[in-house]
Amino acid sequence: MSIDPRAHLRLARPSRDLAAAERFYVDGLGLRVLYRASADGPGEHDLLMLGWPNASWHLELVAGENLTTSPAPTAEDLLVLYLAGPLDDALVARLAAAGGVRISQGPYWDRWGVTVADPDGYRLVLSTRSWSNSAG
């Protein structure tokens, strides 16, 4: 069996504070809340799914007292969005106002975009490149 390359992708991460993460990704980046749930039983956790309704991916954030893993982002844990054009300074300002911190990600990413750490420290790269010209 081969996997259909159009299969939907879910990126799941733990979060210390779902409300802070929601502000960053919804108010700052412009994603929408696709689903949310609160833990209501043993071993369950609070859940927040964010994305764009017609996108082939979404971000799942989990939190709560039953969470077994705390956020532990590294400098290489990147969520890269290829914008295929100039970066809107107002977008970067919204991300900062929503709890993000602009950081340097090194010469390559600093040349091709802006990196902003979310409230849990995970890095969002807004790249001015398009995917088709970024791999080379």
Instruction: Report pTM.
Output: 0.91
23 occurs within a structural domain: yes
Residue 101 has pLDDT above 60, yes or no: yes
Number of structural domains found in the chain? 2
Domain residues for the domain of 14 are 9-63
Band of pLDDT at residue 132, cut at 50, 70 and 90: confident
Instruction: Encode pLDDT of 26-43 as tens digits.
Output: 999 999 999 999 988 887
For residue 22, give the nearest of 71, 60, 54 by alpha carbon: 60
CATH at 118: 3.10.180.10
Q: Which of 52, 116, 30 lies closest to 80, judged by CA?
A: 116
